[in-house]
Amino acid sequence: MDATYGDHRAILQRLARLAMMERGLLPDFSPEALAELKDISTPATEAQARDLRHLLWASIDNDDSRDLDQLTVAEALSEDSMKIFVAVADVDSIVKNGSAIDDHARHNTTSVYTPAVIFPMLPEKLSTDLTSLNYNEDRLAPGILTLSPSGC
């Protein structure tokens, strides 16, 4: 990589940060949020969770994405009917309501993707590891929504 590329990338990163701040978003996690993150070391577990790992879950994310917060699977009920499951990563189990991490996520409401830099809603340790619904990882997803036809 040549110096010109690095210079241009740095300029784009600064512009992306400025755009975040101009729109009232937080490009960085607060020192309080980073301190909380140090105390989170393992994913949540729950003994009574319903095990749905046998289902063939799918994601709309890229094959190399590690930030999987939602998965779906469809199950045929009959020839003209199916049930759709939507699994949502259980961030609430390890990020407490009103914490600095929660405040950051609530403020930005989403991750912001720019060509130069990604501004994640959650710290990477959480979004790509401890709460991510990654393949071959045991994770809670109590926000499973079951959608099935009613009267259709």
What is this structure's pTM? 0.73
With pLDDT > 90 as the criterion, what percentage of the chain qualifies? 42
8 Å CB contact between 87 and 72: yes
User: In this predicted structure, what is the pLDDT of residue 152?
Assistant: 46
Q: Please give the sequence-ordered ranges of beta strands (E in DSSP) within the chain, or none if there are none.
A: 70-78, 81-88, 112-113, 118-119, 145-147
pLDDT one-digit tens code per residue, 104-144:
999 999 999 898 999 999 999 999 999 998 888 888 776 56
Three-class SS of 26-42 = CCCCCHHHHHHHHCCCC
